[in-house]
């Protein structure tokens, strides 16, 4: 599969001098559609954005291929390493969506003997009738180059060709040239399709500091609330000291909580998230952190707490910040934090 070139916005940005999260924020603010390509020796990552939102990703390293949320996380980690390069290519909205679908696609199991009898023009017509979303790879021979046509619901939205010398060209003229060549030459074809596209739901999958400020404020308020609960129950409250201690203990499983090198900073005065985090891992880590901190308190003190009242209080914290409780799921969260303690 050849990547579309689109408009090259950045080329050979160094990961040593580029804050990847700042780049993401800038592209998000500008409702960018296209992709970011991350290159290291033996590594390639592609992050696809549609109107500023991450919708798909692909990562490959030493034969290990990842897609979806796992690929996003790998790209984010890798982008923090030095001596890599970053490219940014702007695409139309429909081509960006098609590229995202292409990374989810699988080989189309059409009878090879039937396809072998088709001319290239007939293959194009067949894919349009099938309303295919995915892509078609073309191989014209060792000295004649390769091509890729991207499809979105049966419509060819982009065509890419790479000559035997490595030159890459995209656009409508390329597709027209494929049609013309197809009348004289029968290339090898490989069809890939996606049946049920599942783009990444960015707001659900990731905690993004510059987009989710109110959500981060909720977690700050929650820690302050739990700290006050402990002050009411204990003569000597070391809540935030214990938070720091437990962060060190759980940082092997949740590196973002590492007090020295992690991306989350927690104190009485602040709750800071420095980089994009996987949302599910973040919630799991924070719930475990609070649970272990509460375990350090005398059990008889915690048994006096009213769990229903705590759930109601946490819902109110979310409501006061204008956050829907479906996003927080206060009941599940508090049960996880206080399990076996009240």
pLDDT tens by residue, 278-287 = 999 999 999 9
Angle, CA of 75, 76 and 81, to the nearest 5°: 90
pLDDT higher than 80, residue 236: no
321 vs 142, residue with greater confidence? 321
pLDDT > 70 in the chain, percent: 97
Domain ranges of the chain: 7-102, 106-193, 203-338
Task: Provide CB contacts within 8 A for 114, sequence distance 6+.
Answer: none
- What average pLDDT does this structure show over 145-152? 94
3-state secondary structure of 316: helix
Mean pLDDT of 48-73: 95
Per-residue DSSP letter, 3? P
Q: 221-234, pLDDT tens digit by residue?
A: 999 999 998 888 77
Residues 174-231 pLDDT 10s: 998 888 887 787 888 899 999 899 999 999 999 999 999 999 999 999 999 999 988 8
Q: What is the mean pLDDT of residues 117-129?
A: 88
Confidence band for 114, pLDDT divided at 50, 70 and 90: low
If we measure between CA atoms, which residue out of 156, 29, 153, 34 comes closest to residue 99? 34
Mean pLDDT of 122-144: 89
pLDDT of res. 110: 61
Contact 65, 98 (CB under 8 A): no
| Predicted pLDDT of residue 121 | 87
């Amino acid at each position: 599969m050849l990547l579309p070139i689109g408009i090259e916005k950045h080329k050979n940005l160094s990961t040593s001098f580029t804050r990847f999260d700042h780049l993401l924020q800038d592209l998000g603010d500008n409702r960018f559609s296209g992709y970011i390509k991350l290159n290291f020796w033996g590594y390639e990552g592609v992050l696809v954005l549609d109107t500023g939102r991450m919708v798909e990703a692909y990562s490959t390293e030493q034969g290990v291929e990842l897609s979806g949320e796992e690929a996003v996380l790998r790209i984010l980690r890798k982008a923090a390493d030095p001596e890599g390069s970053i490219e940014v290519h702007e695409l139309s909205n429909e081509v960006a969506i098609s590229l995202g679908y292409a990374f989810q696609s699988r080989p189309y199991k059409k009878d090879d003997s039937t396809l072998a009898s088709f001319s290239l023009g007939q293959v194009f017509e067949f894919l349009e009738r099938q309303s295919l979303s995915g892509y078609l790879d073309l191989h014209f021979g060792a000295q004649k180059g390769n091509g890729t046509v991207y499809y979105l619901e049966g419509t060819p939205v982009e065509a890419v060709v790479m000559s035997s010398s490595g030159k890459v060209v995209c656009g409508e003229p390329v597709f027209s040239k494929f049609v013309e060549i197809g009348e004289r030459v029968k290339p090898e074809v490989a069809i890939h399709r996606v049946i049920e596209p599942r783009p990444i739901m960015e707001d659900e999958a990731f905690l993004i500091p510059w987009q989710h400020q109110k959500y981060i404020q909720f977690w700050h308020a929650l820690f302050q609330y739990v700290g006050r609960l402990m002050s009411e129950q204990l003569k000597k409250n070391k809540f935030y000291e214990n938070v720091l201690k437990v962060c060190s203990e759980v940082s092997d499983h949740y590196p973002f909580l590492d007090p020295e090198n992690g991306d989350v900073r927690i104190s009485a005065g602040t709750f800071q998230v420095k980089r994009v985090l996987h949302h599910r891992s973040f919630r799991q880590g924070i719930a475990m952190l609070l649970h272990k901190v509460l375990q350090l308190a005398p059990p008889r003190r915690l048994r006096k707490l009213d769990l229903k009242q705590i759930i109601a209080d946490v819902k109110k914290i979310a409501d006061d910040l204008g956050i829907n409780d479906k996003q927080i799921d206060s009941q599940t969260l508090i049960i996880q934090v206080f399990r076996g303690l009240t």
